[in-house]
Amino acid sequence: MNQESRTSEDRYRLGMDLVEQLGSGEAVPTTFELLDMEWEVLPGTYAPHRGTGTEWYTTVIPYPKGGRFLEIGSGAGVTAIWAALHGGCSHVTATDITEAAVGSTSRNAELHGVADQVRTLRSDVFAELDAEDRFDMVFWNCSVFEAPSEFEFTRDVEWAIFDRGYEALGRYLSQVHDRLLPGGRALVTFNTLGDVDRVTAVAADSGVTLNLLDSSARNLKGYDVTYKLFEILPGTQE
Q: Does 46 bind ligand SAM (CB under 6 A)?
A: yes
Q: Does 82 bind ligand SAM (CB under 6 A)?
A: no
Residues 91 to 120: which contact ligand SAM by CB under 6 A? 95-98, 101
String of DSSP letters for 153-177: --SGGGGGTEEETTHHHHHHHHHGG
- Residue 53's alpha-carbon distances to 195, 217, 226, in angstroms, are 16, 10, 9
Q: Does 193 bind ligand SAM (CB under 6 A)?
A: no
CB-based burial, 169-196: b 16+ in 10 Å, e otherwise = bbebbbebbebbeeebbbbbbbbbbbbb
Q: Which residue from 24, 108, 120, 143 is in contact with ligand SAM, where contact means CB under 6 A?
A: 143
Nearest to ligand SAM of 68, 126 (CB atom): 126
Q: Does 44 bind ligand SAM (CB under 6 A)?
A: no
Q: Does 188 bind ligand SAM (CB under 6 A)?
A: no
- Residue 17's alpha-carbon distances to 21, 34, 95, 211, 220, in angstroms, are 6, 21, 25, 30, 11
Q: Which residue from 19, 78, 176, 187 is in contact with ligand SAM, where contact means CB under 6 A?
A: 78
Residues in touch with ligand SAM (CB under 6 A): 46, 48, 54, 72-76, 78-79, 95-98, 101, 124-125, 141-143, 159-160, 168
